[in-house]
Structure 1
Amino acid sequence: MRIAIISDIHANLPALEETLKSIEQQNIDAVYCLGDLVGYNLWPNAVINEIRKRHIPTLAGNHDVKAVDIHNKGSKDSESYAYQIVGKEQIEYLSALPAHIKLEYQVLNKLFIVLMVHGSPYSNKEYLLEDKNENDFTDIFLDCGADIIICGHSHKPYHRILENPNKLGSYFHAVNVGSVGKPKDGNPKCCFAVITINKNSDFSKKEGVQVEFIRVRYDIEKAAKAIEESDLPNSYAEMLKKAY
């Protein structure tokens, strides 16, 4: 089974469209989204509608929660413009998104847990960065009982392997899938991850989890121009171009 995981689209429809085209070419069995459908760009409703049309299981990112809060409070200030343009029907969808998705796999007569989160198992605002202290990182795995944690939020992709301190020779896998619509790793191409699982996958081994990061070109100028011609800060366009 090949699973594609996308995250942090941030209302960037051109980026999402090209990413979905790429996924269709990858022989993918399932697609999941880790949230942040809105913010920073002009197509939040089209992005949400596309995700819903394709029935992609999706988490609530911190920006999705922010959009719901702004609508509930009726905020009209210029800083919240990216969230004000989210439609009522789309807000209702965002307000019902879950915080986690947990998958259980029975392989090699063992049960392995895959936990998908936006930020961390504790908060959609917490960053699980690649250089996080190893003991602190493994404590999170032990606390939530996961063998693999898949996250987004930082917009910086990585696959980090950590030894399980309670079971020598066994490993945890932390995967950040990067960002579709607003990369921050210096590469402006869309990013998503593909995880391959088969009947012989042993998630507890170092090489037991196959993770591939796929980068996709899209019309950055179209997305940046839409920002520059809107009430959004021009700095958002520069962020797209330079991926920071």
Structure 2
Amino acid sequence: MRIAILSDIHANFPALEQTLKSIEQQNIDAVYCLGDLVGYNVCPNAVINEIRKRHIPTLAGNHDVKAVQIHNEGSNDSESYAYQIVGKEQIKYLSSLPAHIKLEFQTADKLIRILMVHGSPYSNKEYLLEDKIEKDFTDIFLDCNADILICGHSHKPYHRVLENPTKKGNYFHAINAGSVGKPKDGNPKCCYAVITISQSSKFCKKEGIGVEFVRVDYDIEKAAQAIEESILPNDLAQMLRKAY
């Protein structure tokens, strides 16, 4: 099973287009999205429509929730522009998205439990950073009964392997899928994760699953200039170019 994980597209349709083309060129069995389809750029409706057209299971990111709140409560200030331009049908879709996706995969000797979240299992605004204290990280896995925890939100990809403190010699896998539309790791290319699990996957080995981060070229200037031609802050365009 090869699973592609998208996250944090942030209304960057040129980035999403090229990412999906990249996925189509690989032997992928399933695609999931961890949320934040909107915010920071000018194509939220095109992004949402493409995700819906492809029937990609998607989580509610904090920016998706913010867009729904702004539409429900009303806001006309320029800071809310990126959310005001989300259409009514698209808002309806965002309001229906779940907070978690749980999967189970049976290997030859173990039932693997996978938990997908936007930020953390407890909040779509909480960051699970790569340098999180190990005990605090493993406590989350134990609390959620997960073997693999996949998140986004920070826009910084990583794969961290942690030893299960209750079962020495067995390991948890924490994976951040990075960002399709607004990377913050110094590399402006789109990023998505591919996770490979097979019948022979063994969690008594640190390399029990395969995790690959795929970087994809896209027309960054097109996306950046769209921001500069809108009423959004020009700083957002520089963030795309420099990936911070």
TM range (shorter): over 0.9
The separation in 1 between residues aligned to 2:57 and 2:155, in whole angstroms, is 19
Equivalent residues of 1:147, 1:204 under 8 A apart: no
Equivalent residue number for residue 178 of structure 2: 178
Counterpart residue type for residue 94 of structure 2: L
* Superposed counterparts of 1:52-201, under 5 Å: 52-201=52-201
Instruction: Give secondary structure in 2 for the equivalent of 1:155.
Output: coil
Equivalent residue number for residue 214 of structure 2: 214
Instruction: Give secondary structure in 2 for the equivalent of 1:225.
Output: helix
Structure 1 residue runs of 5 or longer lacking an equivalent are none
Equivalent residue number for residue 29 of structure 1: 29
Counterpart residue type for residue 132 of structure 2: K
Instruction: Give secondary structure in 2 for the equivalent of 1:55.
Output: coil
Structure 2 residue runs of 5 or longer lacking an equivalent are none
* Superposed counterparts of 1:42-57, under 5 Å: 42-57=42-57
- Cα RMSD for the two superposed structures: 0.6
Counterpart residue type for residue 167 of structure 1: K
Equivalent residues of 1:119, 1:128 under 8 A apart: yes
Equivalent residue number for residue 231 of structure 1: 231
The separation in 2 between residues aligned to 1:123 and 1:208, in whole angstroms, is 28
Q: 58-67 or 106-115: which moved more?
A: 106-115
Equivalent residues of 1:172, 1:204 under 8 A apart: no
Counterpart residue type for residue 96 of structure 2: A
The separation in 2 between residues aligned to 1:50 and 1:198, in whole angstroms, is 29
Q: Give, in angstroms, the shift of residue 205 of structure 1.
A: 2.5
Q: Give, in angstroms, the shift of residue 180 of structure 1.
A: 0.1
Instruction: Give secondary structure in 2 for the equivalent of 1:212.
Output: strand
Q: Give, in angstroms, the shift of residue 109 of structure 1.
A: 3.1
Equivalent residues of 1:151, 1:175 under 8 A apart: yes
Normalised TM-score (structure 1): 0.99
Counterpart residue type for residue 48 of structure 2: I
Normalised TM-score (structure 2): 0.99
Q: Give, in angstroms, the shift of residue 95 of structure 1.
A: 0.1
Q: Give, in angstroms, the shift of residue 209 of structure 1.
A: 1.1
Deviation readout 1:169-205 (Å, 9 max, x if unpaired): 0010000000000000000000000001111112342
Identity of aligned residues (%): 82
